[in-house]
C-alpha cells in the first residue's frame, strides 16, 4: 500500500522530452511505473519512449487518466508547470526541479491551498513505493518493499539510509523526498501523519537537516498524534552559522535552525536519534527489535 502512490498510479511527465525528463522517464518505465503520458508544449501528438506526448496537462489527463504528475521542467518554467497541473485538477504533483525562486514557491503554495492538488518538492528526488511505483530519480534497486516509511529532505543521504535498511532485510513502505528548499509542499508533519494512517507502515524514519523549523514542527505532531516508532537523523551538526550548505533551505540564520535544536525537539517527542549517518539502518533495526517488529531469526520484519 504505502502512501500517496501505488501500483495503479498513472503518471504523466511534464518535461518528458527534455534531457532529465527523457532519461528518467526511461528509468521509471523500466521500474514498472505506469507512466502513461508526457507533456511538452509544442510536441503534442508525438511519441517519446513509446509514451504519447501532449501539449498540455489537461489533455494528457483527459486522454490517459493520469492522476499524478512528475515535473522535470527547468526552474524558470517550473512554477507555471506546477500551477498548470493543479489547475487541471491533478491529485499529486512531484516537482524534481531545483532552483525555483522562493517567492515563486510562496505564490504556488497560496495558489494550490484551495485546490485538491498535493505537492511534493520542489528540489527533491521524488517518491517511491518499492515494487509498485517509482516517481523520480532515485535508483530503484536500492529499495525493497516493506514496512518502514522514509521521509527526507535529502537525495543521496536518503539513498544511503535506504540502502542501510535494505541490506538488513528491512523494507520500505514508501520513501518520500520532501526536498531541500525553504518552501516546500508536503512537509515532515504531513508525511508522518500519512504514514501513521497507512496500514502497511509500522515505523518511520525522518532525515532532516539544518535550516528552518520543519523538524521542530514535526516534533509537536509526533508528540500529539504519532504512535508508531520514529527514528531520526539530522545532518549538519558541524555546519557553520550563516552559510547555505548546498540546499537552498539548509542555512542556520541568526542562530535558528541548528541541528542541535532539531535533535533536542525530536528527542523530547520520543524520536530515537541516530547520532551517526552510518548508523541509521542499525538504529532502525534496534528500535524494531525492541518493539518486537523485527523477527530476529529471519532478520525481516514480521507481517
- ∠ CA 153-157-162, nearest 5°, is 100
Which one-letter DSSP state was computed for residue 98?
-
Distance of CA 281 to the CA centre of its chain: 18
Q: At residue 113, what are phi and psi to the nearest 5 degrees?
A: -65, -25
Structural element, H or E, at residue 30:
helix 19-31
Q: What are the C-alpha distances in Å from 85 to residues 33, 60, 94, 112, 140?
A: 19, 10, 10, 10, 26
Instruction: Note if 247 is an active site residue.
Output: yes
Q: Which is nearer to another protein, 183 or 230 (CB)?
A: 183
Site of interaction with another protein (CB under 8 A): 20, 23, 75-76, 99-103, 105-107, 109-110, 125, 137-139, 142, 152-160, 163, 180, 182-183, 207, 209-210, 212-214, 217, 233, 235-240, 242-250, 254-255, 275-279
Cell numbers at residue 51, please?
A: 509514451
Q: What are the C-alpha distances in Å from 294 to residues 1, 49, 143, 287?
A: 20, 41, 18, 9
- CB–CB of 55/44 below 8 Å? yes
What is the signed CA dihedral for 218, 219, 222, 224, rounded to 10 degrees?
A: -110
Amino acid at each position: 500500500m504505502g502512501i500517496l502512490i501505488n501500483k495503479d498510479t498513472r503518471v504523466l511527465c511534464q518535461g518528458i522530452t527534455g534531457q532529465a525528463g527523457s532519461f528518467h522517464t526511461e528509468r521509471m518505465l523500466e521500474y514498472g511505473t505506469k507512466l502513461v503520458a508526457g507533456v511538452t508544449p509544442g510536441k503534442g501528438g508525438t511519441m517519446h519512449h513509446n509514451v504519447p506526448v501532449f501539449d498540455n496537462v489537461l489533455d494528457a489527463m483527459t486522454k490517459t487518466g493520469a492522476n499524478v504528475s512528475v515535473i522535470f521542467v527547468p526552474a524558470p518554467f517550473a512554477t507555471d508547470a506546477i500551477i498548470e497541473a493543479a489547475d487541471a485538477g491533478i491529485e499529486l504533483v512531484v516537482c524534481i526541479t531545483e532552483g525555483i525562486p522562493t517567492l515563486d514557491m510562496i505564490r504556488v503554495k497560496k495558489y494550490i491551498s484551495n485546490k485538491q492538488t498535493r505537492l511534493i518538492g520542489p528540489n527533491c528526488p521524488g517518491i517511491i513505493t518499492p515494487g509498485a511505483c517509482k516517481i523520480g530519480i532515485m535508483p530503484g534497486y536500492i529499495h525493497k518493499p516493506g514496512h518502514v516509511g522514509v521521509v527526507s529532505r535529502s537525495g543521496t543521504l536518503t539513498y544511503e539510509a535506504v540502502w542501510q535498511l535494505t541490506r538488513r532485510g528491512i523494507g520500505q513502505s514508501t520513501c518520500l523526498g520532501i526536498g531541500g528548499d525553504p518552501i516546500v509542499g508536503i512537509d515532515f508533519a504531513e508525511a508522518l501523519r500519512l504514514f501513521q494512517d497507512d496500514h502497511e507502515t509500522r515505523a518511520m524514519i525522518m532525515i532532516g537537516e539544518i535550516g528552518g523549523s520543519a523538524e521542530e514542527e514535526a516534533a509537536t505532531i509526533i508528540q500529539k498524534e504519532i504512535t508508531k516508532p520514529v527514528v531520526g537523523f539530522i545532518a549538519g551538526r558541524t555546519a557553520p552559522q550563516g552559510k547555505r550548505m548546498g540546499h537552498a533551505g539548509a542555512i542556520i540564520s541568526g542562530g535558528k535552525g541548528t541541528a542541535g535544536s532539531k535533535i533536542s525537539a525530536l528527542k523530547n517527542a520520543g524520536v530515537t536519534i541516530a547520532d551517526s549517518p552510518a548508523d541509521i539502518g542499525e538504529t532502525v533495526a534496534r528500535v524494531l527489535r525492541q518493539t518486537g517488529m523485527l523477527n530476529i531469526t529471519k532478520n525481516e520484519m514480521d507481517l
